[in-house]
Homo-oligomer: A and B are copies of this chain.
Amino acid sequence: MHVGEIGEVELIWQIRSLVDKFQKKALVGIGDDTAVIKGKGNHLFLFTTDTLVEDIHFKWRFISAYQLGWKALAVNISDIAAMGGYPTFALVTLGLPPRTLLSTVEDIYRGMQDLSLKMDVEIVGGDIVRSPIFFITISLLGEVEDQRIILRSGAKPGDRIYITGDIGAAATGFICLNKKEISLKPESREFLEKRHLMPFPRLKEAREISRKKIATAMIDTSDGLSSDLYHILEESNVGAEIWEDKFPVASQTKEVLSRLNRSFSEVALAGGEDYELLFTAVPDKNVEEILNFQVTMIGKIIEEKGLWLVNKEGERKRIKPGGWDHFSKKI
């Protein structure tokens, strides 16, 4: 049996079953945005890693080295943020074909450095290896106060589902990168492409959510709304209903998708890489007022298992998780 045949979800369950029985000291192992380790005092350590492989997760003809460095660090910070924590120290591994330009390596570091200064992360080491294809792996440490941690497993029936920012811009940006022939205002193209190439991790927003103890469960949207929400549903053992007419969508996203006759809902549900925060909160909290940034209520947690989409016509249909099928999965 090849790993390509069994699929990533099943593969991770196999690995989880091999690893879980040896878990004694870690508070959270495989199954959340990051591992959680007991620290001293009232702090917990968070520990995560993400890899981007040439031609699988990115193409050099679309992304600059600076942007790639930024993005590789951003997606790791986003995982730490989704736990309610803050990032601290990073290790960077570069797999380099020997013909890689020195300036490429320098630009990758500049991209990482610019984001790391904004996010107060230090790059403290790593590994440089020869490889026939380029890849970058970042491992990131973070911390969170024990009263402020937000897991995927805390959602309860009745909770409302919220998302920061808007949905589908990164996936639409990816479409734009592939279709240079779409005529679009340069600002709109830049806005959308940048959402795909240089996601800005919602660290400040996540810290406010954890400080104000608003969320019962949280994840960052990396695989697409349906897949990411499914992770919360599985870990919390609940179901959910989401309302298509409430999805927050940027006007630029709408413009491109309507011009291409693409269903917004399909892109939003399966698109991925927005790196927004998807979280649940008890129904009596007035979340939009408590938080001083844009969040939108897009559904609610229900007892009945599964994910249900209520579309603009009011029809309720069951949907399956379906994000990027790029065979890349945090474990």
Contact = CB atoms under 8 A, between A and B. Distances in A.
A8 B128 contact: yes
A93 B127 CA distance: 14
B131 A47 contact: no
Given A18-B109, A100-B3, A102-B3, A131 B133 contact: yes
What is the count of identical protomers in the complex? 2
A150 to B, nearest CB: 17
Interface residues of A, number: 79
Contacts of A39: 39-40
Contacts of A141: 37, 45, 47, 141
A331 interface: yes
Interface in A201-260: none
A128 B126 CA distance: 19
Interface string A111-153: 0010011000011111111111101010101000000000000
A304 interface: no
Contact of A327 (B102, B109, B130): B130
A128 B331 contact: yes
Given A22-B117, A39-B40, A125-B48, A109 B29 contact: no
A15 interface: yes
A328 to B, nearest CB: 4
27 contacts: A1-B103, A2-B98, A3-B100, A3-B102, A4-B98, A6-B102, A22-B116, A26-B122, A28-B124, A29-B122, A35-B125, A37-B124, A47-B89, A48-B125, A49-B91, A49-B126, A51-B127, A51-B129, A53-B130, A56-B131, A56-B132, A125-B330, A125-B331, A128-B329, A129-B135, A135-B135, A141-B141
Interface of A: 1-4, 6, 8, 11-12, 14-15, 18-19, 22-26, 28-30, 34-35, 37, 39-41, 43, 45, 47-51, 53, 55-57, 88-89, 91-93, 95-96, 98-103, 105-106, 109-110, 113, 116-117, 122-133, 135, 137, 139, 141, 326-331
